[in-house]
Amino acid sequence: MDKVRVLFLPGVDAANTNAQSLNVREVARRLDPERFECSLWYEREPDPRLLSASGIRLIALPARGKTRRILREMLAGYDLVSYIDFSPASYIFLHLPRALRGKTKAVFHAEAPAAQLGTPSRQLQILFNGIYPRCDIYTGITEFVARDVERGIGQPASHILPVGVDTKLFTPPAIRRNPDPVVLFAGTLIERKGPQHLVDAAHHFPQAQFRIVGAGREGFEDVLRRKIESSRLRNVLLDGPKTQSEMTAIMRSCDIFVLPSRLEGIPKVTLEAAATGMPCIVFRDYETPSVVDGLTGFQVESTNAMIERLGQLIADPGLRESMGAAARTHVERFDWDTVSRLWQNAYLEMAGRRE
């Protein structure tokens, strides 16, 4: 049987911490090299784990003429072009006559509701409108996101493909020794992600420490810094962006994870936090399966409820410990070795190679 040829669009540079880039690396490394040939882009230095991986072809993206080079590769007879993005190359590819695209199927992996785009620029709106409805296959990261896809374009998602976590890398510490509980937020520092609510929570719980980790966007980290300084809070640390290995160490050193975002799919950080044995507080709006309400943490409906549940966890070390242990057990079903088998079977079906 000929191998299924897959072109993944996200770049896989070692320094790239974008969630889609991380997902692609984990999936591609685990696809059976006897059945798959995966092509991956990089600009400067690819993730070293990919250099000797069987079945993986790394392509250097030129400094100039990126769109032309990507489009040429998309037309090179792949079975699947995966992780279709909102780029000029994807737009042109999807507007070419089907005869030029041949057997290649464009796969859109929906990892969050479409509303997460917020108020896009005019250019992004044009790309979105010209790309999103024209793909051949859609997957949803959760049932909730799959329903959003069907509402948006009237076409069902063919598969539910969750993301995973490396449970061998993200592990709980032997014991958590913080004299005062440490509450962690990790993610892009933008208003939609809700780190400002962690600053507000620090007012309520001066006995706890709050750590906000992530890269700022459009100056929002300065907004947070001014908010912290004007409130004279001494229990909040703005910690900047971190590598994956640094993030592992940070999560092992914290006690509670809070993600106040109202619009997600399966937030990778909640899987990673759970794998390190932390209870998580998230919002119920997007129905993530990464947090089981009342068992591995809490799914809340308002910021007031978030504060209330956070207060419970801060005040009760036993509850933190039991929920953290349950979180670790629950998240093992999202280990990449397990999740990647779902992706492999889905890709075989998409390429018409169902076993």
Read off the pLDDT of residues 138-167 as tens digits, 9 standing for 90 and up.
999 999 999 999 999 999 999 999 999 999
The average confidence (pLDDT) of the chain is: 95
Q: 220-252, pLDDT tens digit by residue?
A: 999 999 999 999 999 999 999 998 889 999 999
Q: How far apart are CA 239 and CA 286, in angstroms?
A: 27
What is the per-residue pLDDT for 116? 85
Unique residue bearing structure tokens 């971190």: 242
Tokens of residue 197, six digits: 């609510």
Quick: pLDDT tens for 183-193.
999 999 999 99
pLDDT computed for residue 225 by the predictor: 96
User: Which residues are paired to 159 by β-bridges?
Assistant: 139
Which residue type sits at 173? P
What is this structure's pTM? Answer: 0.93
- pLDDT of residue 354 exceeding 70, the answer is no
The answer to whether 271 and 19 have CB atoms below 8 angstroms apart is no
Percent of the chain predicted with pLDDT > 70: 99
Query: What is residue 245's predicted lDDT score, i.e. its pLDDT?
Result: 87
In degrees, rounded to 5, the angle at the alpha carbon of residue 155 between the alpha carbons of residues 150 and 156 is 70
CA atoms within 13 A on the CB side of 234: 1
Phi, then psi, of 9 in degrees rounded to 5: -85, -35
The band of 10, judged by pLDDT with boundaries at 50, 70 and 90, is very high
Is the pLDDT at 130 greater than 70? The verdict is yes
d(C-alpha 237, C-alpha 92), whole Å: 45
Q: How far is CA 41 from CA 44, 72, 88, 169, in A?
A: 10, 13, 16, 25
Each residue's pLDDT tens digit, 175-216: 999 999 999 999 999 999 999 999 999 999 999 999 999 999
The pLDDT value recorded for residue 332 is 97
Please determine, for residue 118, whether its predicted confidence score (pLDDT) is greater than 90.
no
Of 121, 111, 39, 125, nearest to 76 by C-alpha is: 39
Task: For the chain, list the domains and their CATH numbers.
Answer: 4-164+335-350 (3.40.50.2000), 182-334 (3.40.50.2000)
pLDDT digits (tens, 9 = 90+) for 74-116: 999 999 999 999 999 999 999 999 999 999 999 999 999 988 8
- The helix/strand/coil state of 156 is coil
